[in-house]
Amino acid sequence: MALKQIISIKLDQRLSPQQIQLMKLLQVPTVELEQRIKQEIEENPALEEGLEISEDDYVQNDEIRENIDEKEFNVDDYLSDDSEYKTRINNSSKDNEDKAIPLSGDNSFQEHLINQIQLLNFNDQEYIIGDIIVGNLDESGYLNRSIDALVDDLAFSLNIIVTEQDVIDVLKIIQGLDPAGIGARDLKECLLLQINRKQDGNITRFTAKKILEEYFTEFTKKHYQKILDKLEISKQDLKEAIEEIVKLNPKPGGSTKESRGVYQQIIPDFEIVVNEGQLQLTINGRNAPDLKVSKQYKNMLRTYSEGAKSSKSEKEALTFVKQKLDSAKWFIDAIKQRQNTLFLTMNAIMNYQKDYFLSGDETQLRPMILKDIATIIDMDISTVSRVANSKYVQTSSGILSLKYFFSESLSTNSGEEVSTREVKKILSEAIDNEVKRKPLTDEKLAKLLKEKGYNIARRTVAKYREQLKIPVARLRKEL
């Protein structure tokens, strides 16, 4: 087939750079917005923080500077090298906020293990093996790599030839260090390492050890009757043994402060308060920073534009200054538009869910999807989605994600439209109040909901239960 050139005319809709910038700013939360503004100020010298100053203010400031220039001063005072002054200078007042962040001096559990290994009577080869083992422990303290893989690592990377038994011998010693359960290769071994240290002749702890050694699968699946029949013990004895097992730590590596997850503080983007039966919405002041275009760059543009612009360098300088000024204006406009869009969207959500915000009752939440809010504020669904992304609101019920208020609708037997969140609330309460020895199955939960007027299939109940992160009835069973 021969190649041909064809001329065609078509309409193609594309976003401008300013629209793309606004879309990106809409979806970032308050904390990331501050970082984004700092980055923009660093990259664009024509953008500054602070309120816009009028021409009258500049005239007044120029008069002040002229008065200062007229005063006599000694140049030597500014050029002298006063070492004592430099070492003790403090340009901050006592009212300034100290934003220094203290650094934690805690050791990780790997460093804690290495410190213990150094106190052992290891030869050079055993110490290297121990160091390799500790380095391969995951954040929970487990050794997920196989023994033969560690042997290969030692041979290929360090040219140390050892047997699998040599590695196992060192691993057993490490498993005897603190914290208990460290260096285990699976959950069963981790729990056994911990329960073995507690053996002091107590029959309950011995029973717990027996369950973990011989009936671990039955224990994890909560087949308690099989364990009772095989061990020939009473329900009370089994209950006490299980309580002893539950006290063990399944993630010993996470017991140290350094290895715990990093928790980010949530800063609400909005706040809704109830004042005399009326809802009041305020937006976080950090979403509306004071930004202005540099006066110096404006004057620079005026100077270049009034000049002859005969040389290439002057034209390039004029283009550069104009680009920076345009970029600063676009960014300031995008921040203002972001603030207006956030306020419009949250105000629509507040009015739509007015009953909930006044009462705080979760069952008062109305079914609401992105399209409902988009129709009210006359914007695209994608815009509402970006606003709802990673945004939080401070309410009388606590700090909640904007996505919390969006839910699908469900029809009751009476034809009333209710939120699926209301159904999940009823499910959660029913499971909390169930008899733990005979937990409610999904089929019984579906029947319970039908009695309350919610005609829901069993598979839908299972889906809602999984969304609530509630296990199946068998795994909720207790003695």
Percent of the chain residues topping a pLDDT of 90: 33
- Reference 395, options 311, 280, 477, 312; nearest CA is 280
DSSP code at position 273? E
* Cα gap 404→420, rounded to integer Å: 12
| pLDDT single digits (tens) 349-368 | 999 999 889 988 887 888 88
How many C-beta atoms lie closer than 10 Å to residue 326's C-beta?
A: 13
Q: Is the pLDDT of residue 431 over 70?
A: yes
Q: Is the pLDDT of residue 70 over 50?
A: no
* Cα gap 17→66, rounded to integer Å: 43
The kind and range of the H/E element at 274 are: strand 270-275
Q: CB–CB of 56/48 below 8 Å? A: no
Q: CB–CB of 144/138 below 8 Å? A: yes
Q: CB–CB of 149/193 below 8 Å? A: no
What is the domain partition of the chain in residue ranges?
Answer: 109-255, 270-307+314-405, 409-476
Q: CA-CA-CA-CA torsion for 388, 391, 395, 398, nearest 10 degrees? A: 120
Q: Count of alpha carbons within 13 Å of 438, Cβ hemisphere only?
A: 1
Q: CA-CA distances (angstroms) from residue 389 to 27, 106, 262, 406?
A: 6, 35, 21, 12
Q: CB–CB of 184/193 below 8 Å? A: yes
| pLDDT single digits (tens) 109-130 | 888 899 999 999 999 999 999 9
| pLDDT single digits (tens) 131-185 | 999 999 998 999 999 999 999 999 998 999 999 999 999 999 999 998 999 999 9
- Reference 410, options 370, 371, 369; nearest CA is 369
Min mean pLDDT across 45-54, 99-108, 379-388 is at: 99-108
Q: Count of alpha carbons within 13 Å of 194, Cβ hemisphere only?
A: 23
Q: Quick check: pTM over 0.85? A: no
| pLDDT single digits (tens) 273-317 | 998 889 999 988 776 677 888 787 777 777 766 665 557 777 777
Select the highest-mean-pLDDT range: 22-31, 222-231, 326-335: 222-231
Q: CA-CA distances (angstroms) from residue 224 to 204, 219, 258, 364, 478?
A: 16, 7, 37, 41, 9
- What pLDDT score does 71 carry? 43
Q: Which amino acid is at 116?
A: Q
How many C-beta atoms lie closer than 10 Å to residue 425's C-beta?
A: 16
- What pLDDT score does 307 carry? 63
Strand partners, 49: 291
DSSP code at position 368? B
* Homologous superfamily in CATH for domain 409-476: Homeodomain-like (1.10.10.60)
- What pLDDT score does 52 carry? 59
Provide the pLDDT confidence category of residue 263 given band limits of 50, 70 and 90.
low
Tokens of 316: 């390039």
Backbone phi and psi for residue 308, each to the nearest 5 degrees, phi listed first? -75, -30
* Cα gap 231→212, rounded to integer Å: 12
| pLDDT single digits (tens) 242-252 | 999 999 999 99
Q: CB–CB of 241/228 below 8 Å? A: no
Read out DSSP for 394-434?
Answer: EETTEEEEGGGG-B-EEE-TT--EEEHHHHHHHHHHHHHTS
Average pLDDT score over the chain = 81
Three-state secondary structure along 114-182? Answer: HHHHCCCCCCHHHHHHHHHHHHCECCCCCECCCHHHHHHHHHHHCCCCCCHHHHHHHHHHHCCCCCCCC
| pLDDT single digits (tens) 15-67 | 666 677 777 777 777 778 888 888 888 888 888 876 655 555 444 444 433 44
191 exposure class (CB count in 10 Å sphere: 0-12, 13-18, 19+): buried
- Reference 182, options 119, 248, 261, 258; nearest CA is 248
123 exposure class (CB count in 10 Å sphere: 0-12, 13-18, 19+): exposed
